[in-house]
A and B are shown apart, each in its own frame.
Chain A
Amino acid sequence: QVQLQESGPGLVKPSETLSLTCTVSGGSISSYYWSWIRQPPGKELEWIGYLYKSGSTNYNPSLRSRVTISVDTSKNQFSLNLSSVTAADTAIYYCARDLNGDYFFDNWGQGTLVTVSS
């Protein structure tokens, strides 16, 4: 059973870079497709970006200039960097699996709350 776990700082200062890691256990990260999705408190879900098996990526145009998703297959992890954060980036950040490259998500991490505040 594949499990996902997000980790990273819960508090980030404005203008700094938010960095999160998703650790995958119970399966190889190279076997699936992955995404980061966020949810501001009390609001709807927002797709951030996608990591293909090949290692290529695709990002939400609204965040593209600030987002980088990368993978470390040796650690079975993938990461999110979001630069120049503001209070609007305060959200629960989820990593999620796309089993077959169909672009919906069948397995999610528990989520981690990141607050942007000085």
Chain B
Amino acid sequence: DIQMTQSPSTLSASVGDRVTITCRASQSISNWLAWYQQKPGKAPKLLIYKASSLQSGVPSRFGGSRSGTEFTLTISSLQPDDSAIYYCQQYNSYPWTFGQGTKVEIK
């Protein structure tokens, strides 16, 4: 199975800060990576697919990028509503796997 390792596990930032979350794949997955946002008691919400494509309706402050097997989710200007856990998912090969999550807290 492809292992997806996210860092950091938790981050705390202020409103307006630029926030970066990293997801590293244990082997090449090309651009086949999605990012989800999950709020307490809710289902995950798709933010980004194919590493950098923004899902319809998602604010433009969310962005994704790739460098080799390292993927980044960036929130350009953190908003109070962005407090959540963020997960990456690889869909390059079965079984599709998720990262362990990054919790974003607002200071």
B71 at the interface (CB under 8 A from A): no
Query: Would you call A47 and B96 a contact (CB within 8 A)?
Result: yes
List residues 21-80 of chain B with CB under 8 A from any CB of chain A.
32, 34, 36, 42-46, 49, 55
- Over the window 90-103 of chain A, the binary record of Cβ atoms lying under 8 Å from chain B Cβ atoms (1 yes, 0 no) is 00001010000011
CB contacts between A and B, total, < 8 Å: 46
In the complex, A102→B96 CA distance in Å?
Answer: 12
Selecting from A7-15, A16-24, A57-65, A72-80, the interface stretch reads A57-65
Give how many B residues have a beta carbon under 8 Å from the other chain's beta carbons. Answer: 21
Chain B, residue nearest A94 (CB): B43
Q: Which of B43, B49, B97 contacts A104 (CB 8 A)?
A: B49
Query: Would you call A105 and B46 a contact (CB within 8 A)?
Result: yes
Query: Would you call A44 and B34 a contact (CB within 8 A)?
Result: no
Task: Give the interface size bracket for A toward B.
Answer: 10 to 19
Query: Would you call B98 and A44 a contact (CB within 8 A)?
Result: yes
Query: Would you call A108 and B34 a contact (CB within 8 A)?
Result: no
Chain A residues in the interface with B (C-beta under 8 A): 44-47, 58, 60-62, 94, 96, 102-106, 108-111
